[in-house]
Amino acid sequence: MSLPSDKTEVVKRGVQEVLIEEELKSSFLDYAMSVVVSRAIPDVRDGLKPVHRRVLYTMHQLGFFHNRPYHKSVRIVGDVLGRFHPHGDQAVYQAMVGMVQDFSKRYPLLDGQGNWGSVDGDNAAAMRYTEVKMQKIAQEILADISKETVQFVPNFDESTQEPVILPSRLPNLLINGTSGIAVGMATAIPPHNLGEVIEACLALLKNPELSDEQLFDKVPAPDFPTGGIICGRAGIVRAYKTGRGNLILRGVVVEEEEVKKGSTRLVITQLPYQVNKAELIIKIAELVRNKVVEGIANIRDESDKRGMRVVIEIKRGEIPSVILNQLYKYTSLQTTVSILMLALLDNKPVIFSLRRLIQEFLYHRRKVVYKRTEYDLKKARAKEHILAGIIIALENIDAVIAIIKKADEAQDAIIALNQKYLLSEEQAKAILDMRLQRLTGLEQGKLREEIKELKTLISTLQLILNDTASLDKEIVKELEEIKESYADKRRSRIEGPVDILSDLDLIPEEDVVVTLTKKGYIKRVPLKTYELQHRGGKGKMGMISLDESDDIVQDIFVTSTHSELLFFTNFGRVYCMSVFEIPEGSRIAKGRAIVNLLKMLEGETVVKLLDASDLTGKFVVMLTKNGVIKRTTGDAFVKIRCTGIRALSLREQDELVFCTISSGEDSIVIATAKGQGIRFHEKEVRQMGRQAAGVRGIKLKEKDFVVGMEVANQDTEILVSTAKGYGKRTHISDFRVAHRGGVGVRTIPTGDRNGDVIGIAQVGADSQILLIDNAGKIIRISPQEIRTLGRQAQGVRLIRLDDDQLLSSIASFQELHTAQAVASDTPYKPVLKQEASEFDEGEDIIDEDMLEDEVIEEVELEDEEEIEEEESEE
């Protein structure tokens, strides 16, 4: 067949040329509107999509009511497909499945028998196996459909008619909700409690000017078939006002204590709406396997006919609230439910507020009741007309019988009766059809009584049609009957709003030891790992040997996982990080390079860690290797950005080596490697900005440098430790108060026995001491086992070091709340016998320059704001 070459020939054959762009545009719009109107979006009046409406109407016609036997689902699907819905059979059947499942619909419309699926995600059995009938509440949606209350249109092949809408005495769109995705739009209306919605309908009928607050008191929130906990109402109120919003929905979890095992269990008794229980359990198991959630020992499903019960066993010592927060964050145990109240109004998609949804339902009910009343009035008048004719015939029964006997056929009798008694054709036919039983006196009395009742009914119906208040009373009566018959208690609890879960909420609060090496390897280890030991013990390995890498541990910090740490570097900069962000390691792990955690500059190393949890009203005291000291308010180090900020300005050949926190009324003790120390009041160092360089704190001798600084009060003691594992406690009163900038006094003799001083620590009655050597071995001791000695005493052994090992760090801390709850395998007992000091206490060695008060020139900048771009270029 050859193609036509002439355009005229094309037109003659009935083919019209069109632009493909216009055809695509027109065809797609037609398809899109078909999806919106005929498939995916419900009507605002009865809350049903076409397929659900056709299923219910088909079952109504077949008589599959709630008080009748069950019938095979395939019978209904076949009728729906053959008469109203020319689509796939699975589309119809899945619509029926949704109307049967009590975990999908708040008020199921169909009553199913057989396997209709489960909350575990199991599919329903094939339609040939399942049986179904209507629920009683579904018949309220179809009530009065035979009374010309709704419009009917021809079906797809014009073989029968189907309703455009159902009368629906229920606000079905709100009580059962809906969801659907069309072309370019979607709807998501959550289910609500029937009693609450009807209360709102009654309130709006009584007072159309009801305020939003009063209306939302009637309907405070959605009510889901699976229960759950609704967290906060802000998003719900927004949705009720604008049609768009969301809510946070959590499952219900109860905590159970198992006394015999001494463990705790979390039991899930309700799930959020449309959450698959089996998938949730699998997800929790994956989190445990991947060590995202580490506190769960076992999980099992104990659900049965009595209800849902998913048991999660918690490991001993774990905090259930933290595990629960982790489940909320990483699983669907907490979900966000979106609300978009879109529905069809006159075949146009509209986003409704709660008020308008109820108003449209009430308007629909007014129209239905009005049309029903018209229908009832027409029927009552017709019946009254017939009965009036029968009464006339009874009053003239002999003459009427004579007329009928004389007539040759029925039509002649009708004409004769019309002429004689002015009876209409309907009345005459009723007289001809009347049974002889009606001629008795009793029957005549009944007829007159029936006419009287009909007149009363007609008056009532006319009043409903003519008076809006009477019409509303009829609607109120029906709504109250619906509430009385079907309303139940709310299933979803409403609680206060919850904050967005941060990483901190997912971390159990416990005391940890943060270890930092000279080469910048950092880790955190639970404090309970290090049991309390005694002075002179061998210690536990706290890290693998660092000899081969020439690395030593330089800092130990005891803090809580919920704290923030400040990282002060040798460049005089400071960075911030949460403790829980520091990788957790084992007791012998080396840790992770800190350069992978902080955005530090090239050649920059961390020299000191400080706890940033409580800096308000306090000061940060910084000390450089060359003895320059500076004091800055703690508020200057709050909310530090990830790239760090400048903490102080450094002079050439100097670097920051020590930081601590002071109250503003303390004494400062500085110690050097060669055994010198000085004490002065911190107010001698005036408060400076972050850009300042500071003033001289101690005058150093040749080849000496600062190894420690403590902020102390009048009643404290200072523990001095040396490289070879010796140390002593000295009362702070032994360090006379001097002026800053002096040479200081002897802290402990240094030499072959002791070696250089490696650090000092402030100790008290509740203090604990951590000592670590350059091999990574750690011992935790009580300072009560160390005798208080004078400044000149050589000290006692703190830790027994192996050959060629040196002590590298010392840290003092007080028992925190978590540490106190951990039972030590080795209970503390005071050691009475002390190692004898080899030297008696001597006189203070005082340098002539001790009172010297030379001040290093301060480098104060007028603008103390953080340097951002310039520092980043460096």
Type of residue numbered 511: D
Query: What are the φ and ψ backbone dihedral angles of 357, each rounded to 5 degrees?
Result: -60, -45
End-to-end CA distance of the chain: 80
Query: What are the φ and ψ backbone dihedral angles of 411, each rounded to 5 degrees?
Result: -65, -35
Tally the residues of the chain.
874
Determine the Cα–Cα distance for residues 31 and 35; give it in Å rounded to an integer. Answer: 6
Position of tokens 């750690």? 778
Determine the Cα–Cα distance for residues 11 and 377; give it in Å rounded to an integer. Answer: 58
Check: CB of residue 679 under 8 Å from CB of residue 728: no
Question: Which residue in 107, 129, 421, 575 is the catalytic one?
Answer: 129
Instruction: Give the three-class secondary structure for 502.
Output: coil
For helices 89-100 and 73-83, the axis angle rounded to 10 degrees is 130
Point out which residues pair with 575 in neighbouring strands: 567
Query: What are the φ and ψ backbone dihedral angles of 333, each rounded to 5 degrees?
Result: -65, -20
Query: What are the φ and ψ backbone dihedral angles of 305, each rounded to 5 degrees?
Result: -65, -20
* Sheet containing strand 796-797, strands side by side: 757-763, 717-722, 726-731, 796-797
Determine the Cα–Cα distance for residues 305 and 303; give it in Å rounded to an integer. Answer: 7
Determine the Cα–Cα distance for residues 35 and 181; give it in Å rounded to an integer. Answer: 9
Residue 751: burial class (beta carbons within 10 Å; 0-12, 13-18, 19+)? exposed
Instruction: Give the three-class secondary structure for 664.
Output: coil
Strands 229-231 and 493-495: parallel
Q: Nearest to residue 358, comparing CAs of 485, 217, 478, 205?
A: 205
Instruction: Give the three-class secondary structure for 31.
Output: helix
Query: What are the φ and ψ backbone dihedral angles of 336, each rounded to 5 degrees?
Result: -105, 120
Residue 220: burial class (beta carbons within 10 Å; 0-12, 13-18, 19+)? middle
Instruction: Give the three-class secondary structure for 123.
Output: coil
Determine the Cα–Cα distance for residues 532 and 779; give it in Å rounded to an integer. Answer: 8
* 231 Cβ neighbours under 8 A, 6+ residues apart: 247, 248, 249, 250, 495, 496, 497, 498
DSSP letter at 788 equals B
Check: CB of residue 543 under 8 Å from CB of residue 590: yes
Q: Is 129 a catalytic residue?
A: yes
Type of residue numbered 161: Q
Check: CB of residue 697 under 8 Å from CB of residue 627: yes
Query: What are the φ and ψ backbone dihedral angles of 111, each rounded to 5 degrees?
Result: -110, 110
Position of tokens 């109860």? 254
Determine the Cα–Cα distance for residues 732 and 679; give it in Å rounded to an integer. Answer: 9
Neighbours of 731 (CB within 10 A): 15
Determine the Cα–Cα distance for residues 332 and 270; give it in Å rounded to an integer. Answer: 12
Position of tokens 């409704």? 352
Q: Nearest to residue 56, comparing CAs of 156, 211, 157, 170?
A: 170
Q: Where is 396: in which H helix or E strand?
A: none
E strand residue ranges, 271-401: 296-301, 310-314, 334-340, 342-345, 348-351
Point out which residues pair with 129 in neighbouring strands: none
* 512 Cβ neighbours under 8 A, 6+ residues apart: 524, 525, 526, 527, 558, 559, 560, 561, 579, 584
Position of tokens 């490289």? 723
Which residues are designated catalytic? Answer: 129
